[in-house]
Chain A
Amino acid sequence: MTLPSPAIDLAEEIRSLIQGDDLSRATKRLLDYTRQFSGQRDIVNSAIVLTGELRSLQRDIRKFGDSAERRSQLSELAHRILEILDEVEAPPADDPLPKVPPEPQRLRVVPQVPSLPLPPQGEPRIAEEANRERSLTRFEQDQRIFAERRKEVVLPPTAALEARGLRKTYKGGFTLAAIDLTLRPGEITGLVGVNGSGKTTLLRVLAGELASDGGDLAYPLLCPNGLDWVHIRSQIAFVEQRPPRWYGILEENLYLHAALHELSGRANEDEVEFILHRLGLETYRKARWNEISGGFQMRFELAKALVGRPKLLILDEPLAPLDINTQQVFLQDLRDIANSASNPLPIILSSQHIYEVEAVADSILFLDKGEVVFAGALDKLYEERQENTYELTSPVDKTRLLEQLDSLGVIEIEHTGLTYIVSVPTEVTGRKVLDCLFRADIEVRYFRDIGNSSRKLFKGRGE
């Protein structure tokens, strides 16, 4: 039985992550869960401590290798995650519902994680055990409890930002023409396009740094009554492509930023502690700006943006300094932030890493020479396609490729330097293309269906 509550969904996600041995992400989501649904400082702090311990343990494993003791510690951490979930789900002391009999030993009887990573088969898994026990003993009560305690998360109907026919012209001749855009809480908008297409200009106009030369720009959620820029800009976090240098110790900057946004005392400490652990930055909290890489600088910028509790997050090329692994983590964090049940955030980010952005974005805005080429969900791009498009890498030349694919009615093959963009009629699937190439003994090193990707929009644009 699927429970509709975001809280229950998130709890299930965490259990599923534990099942899938992804304790790192499980602790991150646990932080989100405790923060959004527990409302208790102690429980959030327990999650923070647990996250710190896991990171420390993972460092030890990387440094000294795996061992039975460390596996046991990992298992213990997994237990504690489940305990925290239980604690949040448990009814409050004054809850009129009948008390669930205490089950102090319930989780302790679960066998330890036998290896790292957890084996796919073997002894009963921790989460499965816990879930089964819950389903047997507390499921019905949990349902009732959550029905009462659940904060139904309704995304605000009001858009955070609405732009209609937004224009900006530079003296040099570049014009950003008639942009229509709506940013809603909980949605991520990816802004893509070739270099010089106006992405940064658009973001700066949206962030209130540049004035538009025409069109309407409104921030209904931030400032319903007109454009009070002081009020609006204090609620927008704009992370620039090249973040300005921070001075002093990094965590002090975060405390300062939080304090300047009227978070004081313990609330300030809690917020910074949460963000540091949530974004995996606690190791570098005592470092200085020059001592961390460009990737971590960007992540700290995001941390600073978030401790200010913005209502609109604008990121200009945030993925540029990040390695491939960190990009995934960063984007996943953005997705989680946008999805927050208690504070869903509208996010717009520009990037050249289109596949990564497309993986988390709800909609894409593709710009070329200041004009909108495509705006909307990627599904729409796929539905409206006139042809199927594939990207592939092969050592053969274009002529050979064309010869082989001619039988499929190939429409066009574009060589972009490293890859080929192959356009074929909509009835030609990727499998057919690959079959055709394999039959001709053509080596294919890389193949991707970009029919529902904005990648195909780059065809014939730019340099």
Chain B
Amino acid sequence: MRLPLSAALRRLDRHWLLNHPVLWMMRLHWMCYFWFLGLVLVCLVALVLPVTLQSVLSLNSYFVTVFFLAGLAISPWIYLQICFAPQLRLVHQGRTAFFLLAGYLFVLGAYVAWPYAFVSILEGRISRRISEVELRADFHPAVRVALFFEDRNMAGARTPSLELPDEEPLGQEASERLLALSLKYLPANLGDLSSGGQWTVAITIESVINDILRIKGVRAFTGSFDFRDYYTKAWVISVVPIGAALLLWVFLSTDARSLTTTCIIGAAAWVVLAIYDASGFPWRREMVVGIPFLMFLGSGWIVLQAPRQRRKSGVFGVGLNTFTLLLPWTPWLLVTLADRSGLFEDIHRGNATFCVGLSIGVVMLLAFTPWLQRNYRELRANPV
């Protein structure tokens, strides 16, 4: 099958093949080309997809779907990188390793931007369907109705997060308002007003309005917003490409066996820490954050033994892999570990810390790349 590449791209392909083999192997030119085509397609679909206010309920599904499609689109490229990896293992130098990792981060980051672009366009279109004034007008009744049904059904299980004027119980009026808001903000099949579902409906309406307010960038009610979904997306589009790029790069530098062993050890550590975290034992945060940091330090010590290696060592390989895979997360781990006041447990500060920490971590990783690659080369070259 011939790829629909333009003549200019084919010329570039040839030039890179002969002169810049690493760029050619990464197929950066193809990937940019197909990324652009895919982005145009995604944007077109997002522009023609019918949206209503209720579409906010489907935004997560849209995000996941397009994310999955982006993953499918990029999987042949990942496969190609894995196939070509053995050719590079003994040849490439530190500078090449840097470009490889930067290229992987770039390509993977670009492709996970598809769902973000798709959802952003949808959000923009949803936000234009209702004015801020109208939204603000609906917000108070929605919250009050939700609280009313919450009090009645849940016996005050939920603490209101927003100070509201003390008014008379809504009674019959609540049901009428709920019906009116349902018609406006919920799809028809969610408008179940029977007594068991009224609280759920009210909460859903509140959530929809909150989301629309967020989309519109209204800050007045920020205090009551649940940003978890929003940051989940941000987490996905940052962590997934970084993690995938790292795994790919480590595979390229080492071998499947060593990487698999590292991943098994990592997964086992993850499970143990998750169980510990859920168990309610003391020092949970210190354990959950501290153990990976200790693993990082331990693997760093193993890596420093590199000059003494004369044979290919499984322990050294796993240590080097662990060190490389944990490196970008260490600034964040360190800050979280040092946070005795619990300052960063707040979701907003926590997310900001995570983003800044991760950015510093990626820069550190790129800076360390030539050194890591030198160690990997020695590891690969040494006889078993």
Q: Do A and B interact?
A: yes
Which A residues lie at the B interface, using CB under 8 A? Answer: 205, 208-212, 227, 229-230, 232-234, 244, 247, 252, 255-257, 259-261, 264-265, 268-269
Contact B87 A259 (CB under 8 A): no
Nearest chain A CB to B215 CB, angstrom units? 45
Q: How far is the CA of A261 from the CA of B383 in the complex (A)?
A: 21
Nearest chain A CB to B218 CB, angstrom units? 52
**Would you call B51 an interface residue if the criterion is a C-beta within 8 Å of the partner chain's C-beta atoms?**
no
Partner of A234, one of B17, B80, B90: B90
B15-38 interface with A by 8 A CB criterion: 17-21, 24-25
Q: Max chain B CB contacts within 10 Å: which of A227, A244, A255, A260? A: A260
* Chain B 296-330 per-residue mask, 1 if CB under 8 angstroms from chain A, else 0: 00000000000000111000000000000000000
Query: Which residue from chain A places its CB closest to the CB of B19 in the assembled complex?
Result: A264
Contact A255 B18 (CB under 8 A): yes
**Would you call B381 an interface residue if the criterion is a C-beta within 8 Å of the partner chain's C-beta atoms?**
yes
With known contacts A208-B383, A234-B91, A268–B18 Cβ distance under 8 A = yes
Nearest chain B CB to A247 CB, angstrom units? 4
Contact A211 B17 (CB under 8 A): no
Partner of A233, one of B21, B25, B311, B381: B381
Partner of A244, one of B86, B91, B378, B381: B86
**Would you call B377 an interface residue if the criterion is a C-beta within 8 Å of the partner chain's C-beta atoms?**
yes
Q: How far is the CA of A264 from the CA of B16 in the complex (A)?
A: 9
Set of chain A residues within 8 Å of B25, measured between Cβ atoms:
256
**Would you call B179 an interface residue if the criterion is a C-beta within 8 Å of the partner chain's C-beta atoms?**
no
**Would you call B92 an interface residue if the criterion is a C-beta within 8 Å of the partner chain's C-beta atoms?**
yes
Contact A269 B18 (CB under 8 A): yes
Query: Which residue from chain B places its CB closest to the CB of A263 in the assembled complex?
Result: B18
A-B interface, 9 closest residue pairs, ranked by CB to CB distance from nearest: A259-B21, A229-B381, A211-B383, A247-B83, A230-B381, A260-B91, A264-B19, A268-B18, A260-B21
**Would you call B75 an interface residue if the criterion is a C-beta within 8 Å of the partner chain's C-beta atoms?**
no
Contact A252 B19 (CB under 8 A): no
With known contacts A209-B383, A211-B311, A230–B17 Cβ distance under 8 A = no
**Would you call B48 an interface residue if the criterion is a C-beta within 8 Å of the partner chain's C-beta atoms?**
no
Nearest chain B CB to A126 CB, angstrom units? 38
Q: How far is the CA of A205 from the CA of B384 in the complex (A)?
A: 9
**Would you call B84 an interface residue if the criterion is a C-beta within 8 Å of the partner chain's C-beta atoms?**
yes
Q: How far is the CA of A420 from the CA of B17 in the complex (A)?
A: 56
**Would you call B382 an interface residue if the criterion is a C-beta within 8 Å of the partner chain's C-beta atoms?**
yes
B87-131 interface with A by 8 A CB criterion: 87-88, 90-92
Partner of A260, one of B92, B378, B382, B384: B92
Contact B88 A260 (CB under 8 A): yes
Set of chain A residues within 8 Å of B90, measured between Cβ atoms:
230, 233-234
Contact A230 B377 (CB under 8 A): yes
Q: How far is the CA of A227 from the CA of B17 in the complex (A)?
A: 32
Set of chain B residues within 8 Å of A265, measured between Cβ atoms:
18-19
Query: Which residue from chain B places its CB closest to the CB of A230 in the assembled complex?
Result: B381
Q: How far is the CA of A403 from the CA of B108 in the complex (A)?
A: 80
With known contacts A264-B18, A268-B18, A210–B383 Cβ distance under 8 A = yes
Q: How far is the CA of A252 from the CA of B84 in the complex (A)?
A: 12
Contact B92 A209 (CB under 8 A): no
* Chain B 72-83 per-residue mask, 1 if CB under 8 angstroms from chain A, else 0: 000000001001
Query: Which residue from chain A places its CB closest to the CB of B83 in the assembled complex?
Result: A247
Set of chain A residues within 8 Å of B377, measured between Cβ atoms:
230
Contact B18 A259 (CB under 8 A): yes
With known contacts A247-B80, A260-B92, A261-B91, A252–B17 Cβ distance under 8 A = yes
Q: How far is the CA of A247 from the CA of B79 in the complex (A)?
A: 11
Query: Which residue from chain B places its CB closest to the CB of A267 in the assembled complex?
Result: B18
Q: A229-B378, A230-B90, A255-B17 are in contact. List 14 more A-B contacts (CB 8 A).
A: A205-B383, A209-B384, A211-B310, A212-B383, A227-B310, A229-B383, A230-B378, A234-B91, A247-B80, A260-B21, A260-B87, A260-B92, A268-B18, A268-B19
Task: Supply 25 A–B pairs (Cβ within 8 Å), ascending by A.
Answer: A209-B383, A211-B312, A212-B383, A229-B382, A230-B90, A230-B377, A232-B381, A233-B90, A234-B91, A247-B80, A247-B83, A252-B17, A256-B17, A256-B24, A256-B84, A257-B87, A259-B18, A259-B20, A259-B21, A260-B91, A261-B91, A264-B19, A265-B18, A268-B18, A268-B19
Set of chain B residues within 8 Å of A234, measured between Cβ atoms:
90-91
Q: How far is the CA of A212 from the CA of B383 in the complex (A)?
A: 8
With known contacts A247-B80, A252-B17, A255-B18, A208–B87 Cβ distance under 8 A = no
Set of chain B residues within 8 Å of A211, measured between Cβ atoms:
310-312, 382-384
Q: How far is the CA of A229 from the CA of B306 in the complex (A)?
A: 14
Set of chain A residues within 8 Å of B310, measured between Cβ atoms:
211, 227
Q: How far is the CA of A212 from the CA of B311 in the complex (A)?
A: 10
Query: Which residue from chain A places its CB closest to the CB of B88 in the assembled complex?
Result: A260
Set of chain A residues within 8 Å of B384, measured between Cβ atoms:
209-211
Set of chain A residues within 8 Å of B24, measured between Cβ atoms:
256, 259
Partner of B17, one of A208, A212, A232, A259: A259
Set of chain A residues within 8 Å of B19, measured between Cβ atoms:
259, 264-265, 268
Q: How far is the CA of A252 from the CA of B10 in the complex (A)?
A: 13
Set of chain A residues within 8 Å of B86, measured between Cβ atoms:
244
Query: Which residue from chain B places its CB closest to the CB of A268 in the assembled complex?
Result: B18
Q: How far is the CA of A6 from the CA of B110 in the complex (A)?
A: 58
Query: Which residue from chain B places its CB closest to the CB of A257 in the assembled complex?
Result: B87
Nearest chain B CB to A244 CB, angstrom units? 7
Nearest chain A CB to B90 CB, angstrom units? 6
